[in-house]
Chain A
Amino acid sequence: MKLPVRLAVLFTAMAAATACAPQTSGNSSSGKDEKTGTLRVWLFQEVNNKPKEQVVDAVLADFRKAHADTRVTVEYIPVETRAQRIKAAFNDPASAPDVIEYGNTDTAGYVKDGGLEDVTEEFGAWDEAKDADPTARQSVTVDGKVYGAPYFVGVRALYYRTDVFEELDLEVPRSMDELASTAKKVRAARPDLYGIAVGGAYTYGAMPFIWANGGALATGKSGSYASAIDSAAAQKGIKAYTSLFGDDNCPAAKCAGMGGNDTVTAFASGKAAMAIGGDFSHQAVEAGKAKGKYAVVPLPGVKPGSIAPAFAGGNNIGVLKSTSHRTLAVDLMKRLASKETQGELFDAMGFLPTFTDVRRQAAAKEPFVKPFVDTLAAGTEFVPASPAWAQIDSSLVLPTMFQEVVSGKKDVGAAAGDAARKMNEAFGSAG
C-alpha cells in the first residue's frame, strides 16, 4: 500500500471509530429497585449550612433505623454551579445521585430532559400531601404528573427603612401608586438613597407588578402555552415597574443592570429606603447596615390595601430517573420533605414550609415571617410549567425586555411584543 492510501485508510478508520452521533446518555429508568445499598443525596449548600445539616442528619438517622443495610451519603452542592452539576448527573447516570434538591422553576425542564422520576402514585398516597398548598403542588406538577415533593417556599415582600420613613414622615405605601410616589419623595428628600431599589434583571421582583395589574406571563396550559406578556394588562404592569427607573428614584444607568441580589445588597448596605426582598433575604439584611432599622410588609397591589400576587419560588426534592433504589429513594424524599422536617427546617434556617398548617404554626412562632405568610395567603403565581421556561429564563428574555424599556431603546409595546415573540418561539420548540 502506498502511504497516502494508508493514511487515508487510517483516517477513515479513525472517523469510523469516533464518528456517528455526538454523545447521548441512555437515560431511562435503571429498571432496578434494590432494597439495600447506598443512596446518594444532593442538597443545596446554603450560606449558613450547619443548621440545615443537623436537620438532615436527624432525618437520615431515622431513615437508617427504618431500613437496615442501607447507607446514605449527602453532598451539599454549591447553588451557583447547580445547573452544571445536575446536567452532568443527567448525562452520566452512573455517577448521578438518587435524590436531589432542585429549584422549583426547573421542574418542567428537568422532566423534559428525562431526569426526574414520576412519583404521582406515591405522592397521591402520602397522607401529608393533602396539606401542601396549591402553588407548591403546582410547582412539582407537569402535565398532571407529580415529579417530587415541595421542600420549602420562598416569597418576596416589601422591605422598608423605618428610620427613613420616620425622619421624612412618610406612611407605608398601601398601593402601587403610593409605592411609586413614596419612593420619589424619599429620593427627592434624600438624594443619597434610592427610593426603592429596583433592577432591570430582577424578573421575580418585577413580575408582581404585572400580575397585580391583571397581566400574566403566559396563557394556556402545558403543551400549548402562548405568551401574554404583551397583553394590555401586562404592559400596564411593565410600565408601572419601569417607571421606577429614573433619576427620581433609581437611576437607569445604575439600576438597569441590577438583579435581585443587587437590590437587596443596596438595601442592606443602607443605599435604598425600600426594596423587594425574599424571606430568604432576611439574613443578608440583618448582616448589613439596615439591621434594626427596617420592617417588612406585603408588596401592595393596585387597589389600596390589597396585596400584589407574588412569585412562589422555592425548592423541591425529587428522585432521579436513573436511581436503582426507587422505593428507598421515594421514602427518603418523603422524609426529607415531611411536615416534621419542614417545621424543623424553618426553625433552623427560616425556610417557609410548603404545608399550610405547618406554615401557620411557623408564623405564630416567628413574627418576622408574618408579611411573607400573608403574601402567600393572598395568593401567589408561578411560572408556566413548561420546559420552555428554563430557556426563556436563561436566555434573559424578560430582563432584556425591562432593560430595553428602561434604557429607552424601545417603548413598552415594542419591547413586550419582542419578548412575546421570543417566548412563543421557545414554547413552540419546547412545548
Chain B
Amino acid sequence: MPGTAPRPGGRSGAPWLYLAPALVVLGGLLVYPIYQLGLISFLEYTQAQVSGGEPTTFQGFGNYAELFGDGEFWRVLLATVVFAAACVVSTLAVGCALAVLLTRVRAVPRLALMLAALGAWATPAVTGSTVWLLLFDPDFGPVNRMLGLGDHSWTYGRYSAFLLVLLEVVWCSFPFVMVTVYAGIRAVPAEVLEAAALDGASQWRIWRSVLAPMLRPILVVVTIQSVIWDFKVFTQIYVMTNGGGIAGQNLVLNVYAYQKAFASSQYSLGSAIGVVMLLILLAVTLVYLRLLRRQGEEL
C-alpha cells in the first residue's frame, strides 16, 4: 500500500508470512508422519486392526512397556549404538585421511581416486551389499581364495558378520566425508598452511592444530550426518546378514523395527521402536550441538 511505512523492529508477522509456504510443506512432510508414528505407537495396531477385523484400542504406554521389558530390545539397542559408533569413527577416519591425501597427490591420481569414490557413492546400497557378499562368499568369493581361507563363512560369527557390514557401510559412506572435507581443505587459505609448514609442523600436527579447528563446522556436519545414517543403517544389514543374521545376532534397531512392524505386522510395536530411535537421534544431535556452542563455535 502506498504511504504505509514498514513497521519497525521486525516484530511484525512478515517473516512468518515468508516462511509459511516452507512451514506448510515441512509440516506436511515431516510433522504429520511423525505425528502418525507417535499416535500408532500408543495404539494396539496390527493387521487385524488395519483390515477391520478388530477395533483399534488405545494402549497408553503399553507398547513401550512391552518393548522396554524385552531383553532382546536392549541387546539390539546396544549392538546398534556400538556398531554405529564404530561405523562413524571408521568412516570419518577413512574420509578425512583420503581427503588429505587428495590435496597431496597430482591431478591424475586425484581424478582416479575421486572417480572411484564417486562410483562407490553412486552404487545403490542393495547392489553394493550384494557385491560385497559375493566377494566374501565362502564357496565362490575371491577374498577367501586370495587369503587362502578355504570355505570360511564371514556371516556366521557375530563379529565377523558385523565387520563385513561395517566395511560395506564405510565403503559406501566415506566418499561423502571425503568430498566435503576436501572442499573444506581447499577453502583454507594457503598462507596459513604455509606458515605452519615453515614453523616446522608435521603433517599430523598441521591436521590437528590447523586444519581440524578450521574445518570444525564441516566436521560437525559430516559427523552428525554419519551418526544419523549409521544409526539408521538398514539395507546393508538386511541384505548381507539375511534379515538379521544367525538367530538374530546381527539385528540393529532399524531392521528390528522392520521385523516387528512389517514381517510380523505389529505396526504399533514397530512405531514405538521408531519413536525411540527418533528420540535417541534428536538427543545425540542436540547434545552435540550444545557441546559445540559451549566451546564458542557457531555452526
Binding site for B on A (CB under 8 A): 2-4, 6-7, 10-11, 14-15, 18-19, 21-28, 87, 90-91, 109, 111-115, 200, 252-254, 256-257, 387, 390-391, 394-396, 399-401, 403-404, 406-407, 409
Q: Chain A contacts of B51 at CB under 8 A?
A: 25, 27, 87, 90-91, 113-115
Q: Chain A contacts of B36 at CB under 8 A?
A: 22
- Whole-angstrom distance between the alpha carbons of A24 and B49 in the complex? 6
A394 touches B265 (CB 8 A): yes
Listed stretches B122-130, B163-171, B178-186, B241-249; interface member: B241-249
B246 touches A256 (CB 8 A): yes
B13 touches A90 (CB 8 A): no
**With A19-B35, A254-B151 given, can you name 13 additional A-B contacts, CB distance below 8 Å?**
A3-B14, A10-B24, A90-B50, A90-B53, A91-B51, A109-B47, A115-B53, A254-B138, A399-B247, A400-B248, A401-B247, A407-B246, A407-B247
B39 touches A22 (CB 8 A): yes
Q: Chain A contacts of B52 at CB under 8 A?
A: 24-28, 90, 114
A24 touches B50 (CB 8 A): yes
* A253-B153 in contact given A7-B23, A27-B51, A404-B247 (Cβ < 8 Å): yes
A-B residue pairs in contact (CB < 8 Å), sample of 26: A2-B13, A7-B16, A18-B32, A21-B56, A22-B39, A22-B45, A26-B52, A27-B51, A87-B50, A90-B51, A113-B47, A113-B50, A113-B53, A114-B53, A114-B54, A200-B247, A253-B156, A254-B151, A254-B156, A256-B156, A394-B265, A395-B264, A396-B248, A400-B248, A401-B247, A409-B249
Binding site for A on B (CB under 8 A): 12-14, 16-17, 20, 23-24, 27-28, 32, 35-36, 39-40, 43, 45, 47-54, 56, 138, 151-153, 155-156, 242, 246-249, 259-260, 263-266
* A113-B13 in contact given A253-B153, A257-B246, A394-B263 (Cβ < 8 Å): no
- Whole-angstrom distance between the alpha carbons of A15 and B40 in the complex? 15
A90 touches B47 (CB 8 A): yes
Closest to A426 in B: B264
How many residue pairs bridge A and B at CB < 8 Å?
118
Q: Chain A contacts of B13 at CB under 8 A?
A: 2-4, 6
B138 touches A253 (CB 8 A): yes
Q: Chain A contacts of B264 at CB under 8 A?
A: 390-391, 394-395
A14 touches B27 (CB 8 A): yes
- Whole-angstrom distance between the alpha carbons of A22 and B54 in the complex? 14
Q: Chain B contacts of A26 at CB under 8 A?
A: 52
Q: Chain A contacts of B45 at CB under 8 A?
A: 22
- Whole-angstrom distance between the alpha carbons of A150 and B182 in the complex? 65
- Whole-angstrom distance between the alpha carbons of A246 and B72 in the complex? 27
A7 touches B20 (CB 8 A): yes
Q: Chain A contacts of B259 at CB under 8 A?
A: 395-396
Q: Which of A87, A114, A252 has the most CB of B within 10 A?
A: A114
Closest to B32 in A: A18
Q: Chain A contacts of B28 at CB under 8 A?
A: 14
Shortest distance in angstroms between B187's beta carbon and chain A's nearest beta carbon? 38
Shortest distance in angstroms between A226's beta carbon and chain B's nearest beta carbon? 20
Among A112, A200, A256, A406, contact of B54 (Cβ-Cβ < 8 Å) = A112
Closest to B49 in A: A24
Interface of A is mostly: helix
- Whole-angstrom distance between the alpha carbons of A125 and B42 in the complex? 45
* A27-B156 in contact given A4-B16, A21-B39 (Cβ < 8 Å): no
- Whole-angstrom distance between the alpha carbons of A406 and B245 in the complex? 13
Q: Chain A contacts of B152 at CB under 8 A?
A: 253
Please name the 3 residue pairs, one residue from A and one from B, whose CB atoms are nearest each other, closest first. A114-B53, A3-B13, A27-B52
B48 touches A112 (CB 8 A): yes
Closest to B151 in A: A254
- Whole-angstrom distance between the alpha carbons of A109 and B35 in the complex? 29
- Whole-angstrom distance between the alpha carbons of A187 and B140 in the complex? 21
Shortest distance in angstroms between A178's beta carbon and chain B's nearest beta carbon? 28
Q: Chain A contacts of B16 at CB under 8 A?
A: 3-4, 7
Q: Chain A contacts of B155 at CB under 8 A?
A: 257
Shortest distance in angstroms between B41's beta carbon and chain A's nearest beta carbon? 11
Shortest distance in angstroms between A239's beta carbon and chain B's nearest beta carbon? 17
Closest to A387 in B: B48
- Whole-angstrom distance between the alpha carbons of A256 and B27 in the complex? 47
Q: Chain B contacts of A90 at CB under 8 A?
A: 47, 50-53
Among A18, A23, A254, A409, contact of B153 (Cβ-Cβ < 8 Å) = A254
A114 touches B48 (CB 8 A): yes
Among B27, B49, B56, B263, contact of A11 (Cβ-Cβ < 8 Å) = B27
- Whole-angstrom distance between the alpha carbons of A180 and B16 in the complex? 76
B156 touches A252 (CB 8 A): yes
* A391-B54 in contact given A3-B13, A7-B20, A254-B138 (Cβ < 8 Å): no
A391 touches B48 (CB 8 A): no
Q: Chain A contacts of B263 at CB under 8 A?
A: 394-395
- Whole-angstrom distance between the alpha carbons of A254 and B35 in the complex? 44
Closest to B19 in A: A7
Shortest distance in angstroms between B40's beta carbon and chain A's nearest beta carbon? 5
